[in-house]
Amino acid sequence: MSPELSYAYYPGCSGLSTSKDYEISTRAVCRALGIKLQEIPDWSCCGSTPAHTVDHVFSAALSARNLSLAEQMGSDTVITPCPSCLTNLKVAAHRMEQEPAFQQEVNRHLQEPCVNTVQVKSVLQALIQDLGPEAIAKQVEKPLSGLKIAPYYGCIMNRPPEVMDFDDPENPVAMDEILRGLGAEVLPYPLKVECCGASYGVARKDVVMQLSGKLLDLADSLGADAIATACPLCQMNLDLRQDQINAALKRSFRLPVFYYTQLMGLAFGLEEKDLLLNKLNVPAGPALAKMQQAAEAAAEQDAQTKEQ
């Protein structure tokens, strides 16, 4: 096992509700890899999209509070699975660093001022940069051989590049590398960073039908068995609304949409209680069965060649 990695951990609100499967599997995978997650005590919501549409100082203060709490823990890095939380934390830290006056204003709202010394990363970034793909691949017990996956990062994980400062903003590859290490076949999916429609699912469902529909269509046309994602909102639009999209576009997609951490857990041989695959709307069963068949066929072929 690699040297002990330890982080302050920010689960985010959706991790306790809509994306519980993401949160649980993230913790399970980190545990399996020996990464220590210390949940920030008494953390609060990052404000998500609504906060910064109303008031930038308020929005930054919400994130600065969490950063300040992480500082008090004595941690130098905070990681979060959710790209939306990540964006808020990073934007707040970035702007406070650029504008000392802004930092002062933000700190007026806080009991304990934020010194802004903590680094913010996504769990994905920590996995690929601090741990490395080789260490992850080593942990694999049941390779995902034969599973064709379209990797989908969502639009905010890497953008804007000057704030997020991770991977190629137009063609990120971090998740590709991890999935490849799990033994899966990673498809060249060109719409990796396209918008899924995000929270328009509430106000303008038609927009999500079009945008997410396009993502599903491309994955389908490439022959994908499944989509892997790193964002709770993307996962919800693609998975939970897949039936709505089918109805709206007169299509019949049946593509399971996994969190990449669920796929890691699968390959690591973790149990259902750590993966919560049953929470997926489009069942994972057929894709996994196909993978199983492929694996068995390969094994049979292997055995035959050996006999000969």
Partner 1 sequence: MKIGVFVCHCGSNIAGTVDVAGVAQAAKNFPEVAFATDLLYSCSEPGQEAIVQAVQEHDLDGVVVAACTPRMHEPTFRRAVERAGLNRYMFEMANIREHCSWVGKDKDANTRKASDLVLQAVEKLRFDRPLQAKSFDINKRVLVVGGGVAGIQAALDCADGGLEVVLLEKTSTIGGKMAKLDKTFPTVDCSSCILGPKMVDVSMHPNITLYAYAELESVEGYVGNFEVSVKKKATYVDWDKCTGCGLCMEKCPSKKAYDAFNEGIAPTRAINIPFPQAIPKRAVIDPTYCRQFIKGKCGVCAKVCPTEAIDYEMQDSFVQEKVGAVITATGYDLFDYRKYGEYGGGRYPDVITSMQYERLLNASGPTGGHIQRPSDGREPKKVVFIQCVGSRDKSVDRPYCSGFCCMYTAKQTILTKDHIPDSQSYVFYMDIRAPGKMYDEFTRRAMEEYGAQYIRGRVSQVYPYKDSLIVRGVDTLLGSQVEIEADLVVLAVGAEASRGASELAEKLRISYDAYGFYMESHPKLRPVETNTAGVYLAGACQGSKDIPASVGQGSAAAAKVLALFSKDQLESDPQVALVSQARCVGCGKCVQTCPFGAIQLAEDRAGNPKAEVIETVCQGCGLCTVTCPQSAIQLQHFTDNQILAEVNALCQQAMEESFES
Q: Would you say 105 or 217 has its CB closer to partner 1?
A: 217
Neighbour count for residue 195 (Cβ, 10 Å): 18
Among 41, 50, 190, 269, binds partner 1 (CB under 8 A): 190
The residue within the footprint of partner 1, chosen from 74, 111, 202, 221 (CB under 8 A), is: 221
Q: Which stretch binds partner 1 (CB under 8 A): 31-39, 93-101, 187-195, 284-292?
A: 187-195
Would you give the distance in Å from CA 125 to the centre of its chain?
A: 10
Residue closer to partner 1 by CB (options 50, 161) is 161
CB of 218 to partner 1, least distance (A): 7
Report the residue from 55, 99, 168, 300 that binds partner 1 according to the rule CB under 8 A.
168
Closer residue to partner 1 in complex, CB, 167/225: 167
The reply on whether position 206 binds partner 1 by CB under 8 A is no
| Neighbour-count burial for 236-258, b at 16+ CB within 10 Å, e otherwise | bbbbebbebbbebbeeebebbbb
* Binding-residue pattern over the window 125 to 144 for partner 1, x denoting contact by CB under 8 A: --------------------
Going from the C-alpha of 85 to that of each of 131, 189, 278, the distances in angstroms are 22, 25, 25
Q: Which of 218, 248, 249, 295 binds partner 1 (CB under 8 A)?
A: 218
Q: Are strands 226-229 and 257-259 parallel, antiparallel or unpaired?
A: parallel
Q: Which two tokens stand for residue 158?
A: 């890497």
> Residue 26 — φ and ψ, nearest 5°?
-60, -50
